[in-house]
Amino acid sequence: MRQPASSSGNKTAILLVLSVMSMLVFSVLWQGSTAVMSHSEEGHVVMLDPGHGGYDPGAITSQGVYEKSINLQIAQKVKEMLAPSGIQVFLTREEDIDYVPDGVKGKTTKKQIDLNRRIDMANEVKANIFVSLHVNATATGQNSGAETFYDYKSESGKELAVLIQQELIKIPGMNRRIAKPGDFYVIKNTNMPAVIVEVGYLSSLKEQKKLQQTWYQEQLSRAIAKGIASYFGLP
Ligand SMILES: [Zn+2]
């Protein structure tokens, strides 16, 4: 699960999309084509963000499976897998913690303080990309499979999301979803290209069992690691 950027800003968002689109059209007409710097020429620093932690468990199943634990297990595997590539990987948390000081009240305030700290951490290490890892859940339990979201304003974010999702859908039995734009706090407020990967649905009984298995977590982690490596032009 992830934090929506706002619950009442839909009209504003539509207007923004329209104005951004018209600006884009205008700038393309005005400038013609512009050269795009390859991401392989930039640094190779990744901030991986295992979603939730500490007071905030994320999605929970009636069997007592916590989203925050799966997010961390996958993040640690992605970090290990990227180590040989020379990509520098940081995690926003290495254990079951949050970044909300004692005494802070209010669900939204606590969530934003926690997310802002993670965004600051990415800035502090000068991360080139930010990858937030989550597990989804729905009330009906009918959905399954991985989804990757990017901020619609970020071309590089989209590129990263597409590369990761392309690898995820190669996993046997996975859905064929494509990367999607999403209106979420963390991907809107980072300075670098950012994506949210929802690796699957805890609300699907079948998928919930797989998501706890090391072999399945490794398949997901390898796909995410491959997507990140190809973003930087690395094998
Ligand atoms: Zn989540």
Secondary structure of 69-134 in HEC code, one letter for each residue:
HHHHHHHHHHHHHHHHHCCEEEECCCCCCCCCCCCCCCHHHHHHHHHHHHHHHHHHCCCCEEEEEE
Q: How far away, in angstroms, is 59 Cα from ligand 1 center?
A: 6
- Report which of 138, 132, 116 is spatially closest to residue 59, judged by C-alpha positions: 138
Distance 113 CA to ligand 1 centre (A): 16
34 CA to centre of ligand 1 in angstroms: 37
Structure tokens at 14: 């539509």
Rounded distance from Cα 43 to ligand 1 centre (Å): 28
Tell me, in angstroms, the distance from the centre of ligand 1 to residue 179's CA. 17
The pLDDT value given to residue 7: 45
Cα 134 to averaged position of ligand 1 atoms, centre (Å): 4
Report how far residue 81's alpha carbon sits from residue 60's, in angstroms, rounded to the nearest whole number.
27
What separation in Å is there between the alpha carbon of 136 and the centre of ligand 1?
A: 6
Q: How far is the CA of 32 from the centre of ligand 1 (A)?
A: 40
Q: How far is the CA of 199 from the centre of ligand 1 (A)?
A: 10
CA of 36 to the centre of ligand 1 (A): 33
CA 6–ligand 1 middle distance (angstroms): 16
pLDDT digits (tens, 9 = 90+) for 212-232: 999 999 999 999 999 999 999
* pLDDT value of position 12: 47
Residues of the chain with pLDDT under 50: 7-12, 14-17, 20, 23-35
Distance in Å, CA 41 to ligand 1 centroid: 32
Determine the 3-state secondary structure of 190 from DSSP.
Answer: coil
**Cβ–Cβ < 8 Å for 231, 163:** yes
Expressed in angstroms and rounded, the spacing between residue 13 Cα and the centre of ligand 1 is 22
Q: In what order do the strands lie in the sheet with 129-136?
A: 88-91, 45-50, 129-136, 194-201, 147-150, 180-181
- Taking the centre of ligand 1 as the mean of its atom positions, its distance from the CA of residue 200, in whole angstroms, is 11
Residue 201 phi, psi dihedral angles, 5° rounding: -115, 120
% of the chain surpassing 90 pLDDT: 78
For residue 58, report the distance from its CA to the centre of ligand 1, in Å.
5
pLDDT at 45: 98
Distance 33 CA to ligand 1 centre (A): 38
Ligand 1 mean position, distance from CA 19 (Å): 30
pLDDT at 122: 98
> CA dist 186 to 91, 118, 151, Å?
15, 9, 9
